[in-house]
Amino acid sequence: MIIIVTGGAGFIGSNFITYMLKQHPEYKIINVDVLTYAGNLENLKSIESHSNYKLAKVDITDVQEIDKLFSQGVDVVVNFAAESHVDRSILEPDVFVKTNVLGTQVLLDAAKKYRVTKFVQVSTDEVYGSLGATGLFTEETPLTPNSPYSASKAGGDLLVRAYHETFGLPVNITRCSNNYGPYQFPEKLIPLMISRALADQALPVYGDGMNIRDWLYVEDHCSAIDLVIHEGVNGEVYNIGGNNERTNVHIVNTVLQELGKPDSLISYVQDRPGHDRRYGIDPTKITNELGWKPKHTFETGIKETIQWYLNNKEWWTRIQSGEYQKYAALQYGTR
Ligand code: NAD
Ligand code: DAU
């Protein structure tokens, strides 16, 4: 099987490629990644010389290059490539529309032309918008995205759906909750708080800190996508989540406790505009129909993750000393 994995140098994509080459060493994996600020080849060090792994530094919005790549043979596409950070989408929405909507459409056209046997769109629970105090997102929840990021992901999802309905393209859409684990870029909540707490910097908690996210260890997301590639019923959407709802304040306090740092580091700052209050995934469909089960509990996963960041300080300090500085200065100033 030849699998094109887009965005394979990012957080989840790199974990996914590593996972797949372990599970299916006979599959050929082509990592299509243009290496934006979030793409990091260091994430793939452990498999970079695997004989069934290849990197193609290509932008998914580049019609000619994508066509050339697909013409060389492909069975399955897993589309991770995206602009993924909500705060950046508030500063710079245009690139989110370009990559997440147009890029998806370019891939769909190539997938249709070269008759791939499966196109998996890796999407997010954020397309469903925000929950009140009760209830969970199911696959039937209407799409009501609130940020430019989630709106662009919803746009991509709708195109994937349309290519199935109109052209019969064999697709699945997966919608996962917040991931955490090794190689997550230090702009996202958990690695941001770990890295700043270690430097005794203020930890910026938006609003009242009581927003809720539903956390899943990245490897469990990877195992779900592996299952969807093989068992997913064409045209179906699968929600992925491990029933781990936590407030942001709980997350930040856990990080502080694990690192032995004082909670005086917490700094409540202005809320994120359009900040979704609560996410919670109902994973009944993928559990009952495909037999997926996460392996990691939040309590063990968060400890392992914090330990990984302690053991891999060089990985994130290198990121922080590069282009990231500009964004951090804008976002956090001298706090
Ligand atoms: P990430 O930002 O860490 O990585 C994105 C990758 O895509 C990078 O390697 C980047 O270089 C690449 N990329 C961006 N634009 C590209 C383009 N035009 N052409 C080719 N490559 C491009 O993102 P992530 O957190 O690993 O998320 C991966 C996917 O999973 C995204 O589609 C995201 O919407 C989805 N998702 C993420 C989470 C989460 O919690 N992180 C949860 C659910 C779904
Ligand atoms: O739900 C899945 C989504 O999870 C993915 O689709 C996105 O790609 C991914 O970035 C993530 O989005 P969030 O906005 O939930 O993640 P983030 O880490 O940016 O923020 C998590 C929560 O923490 C959110 O409620 C905002 C809050 N937060 C975040 C940052 C960066 C803070 O309070 N302070 C911060 O500095």
Q: Does residue 320 belong to any structural domain of this protein?
A: no
Q: Does residue 277 belong to any structural domain of this protein?
A: no
Q: What is the DSSP letter of 275?
A: -
Q: Does residue 278 belong to any structural domain of this protein?
A: no
125: annotated active-site residue: yes
- Hey, what are 245's tokens? 């709802």
Report the domain count for the chain.
1
CATH number for the domain spanning 175: value is: 3.40.50.720
CA 147 to chain centre: 16
What's the ipTM?
0.99
Q: Does residue 65 belong to any structural domain of this protein?
A: yes
d(CA 209, CA 255): 14
Spacing, Cα 213 to ligand 2 middle (Å): 8
Q: Does residue 305 belong to any structural domain of this protein?
A: no
Q: Does residue 97 belong to any structural domain of this protein?
A: yes
What is the span of the domain harbouring residue 114? 2-180+217-240
Amino acid at 308: W
Predicted TM-score (pTM) of the model is 0.98
Asked if the model's pLDDT at residue 125 lies above 90, the reply is yes
Q: Does residue 197 belong to any structural domain of this protein?
A: no
d(CA 253, CA 264): 11
Q: Does residue 318 belong to any structural domain of this protein?
A: no
Spacing, Cα 324 to ligand 2 middle (Å): 17
pLDDT at 335: 59
Alpha carbon dihedral 87, 92, 97, 103, in 10-degree steps, equals -90
200: annotated active-site residue: no
d(CA 222, CA 27): 15
Closest CA to 279 of 305, 312, 252, 242: 242
pLDDT tens by residue, 177-214: 999 999 999 999 999 999 999 999 999 999 999 999 99
Closest CA to 13 of 73, 64, 67, 55: 55
Question: Which residues lie with the beta carbon below 6 Å from any ligand 1 atom?
Answer: 6-7, 9-13, 33-36, 38-39, 59-61, 80-84, 99, 103, 122, 124, 153, 176, 178-179, 185
Spacing, Cα 24 to ligand 1 middle (Å): 23
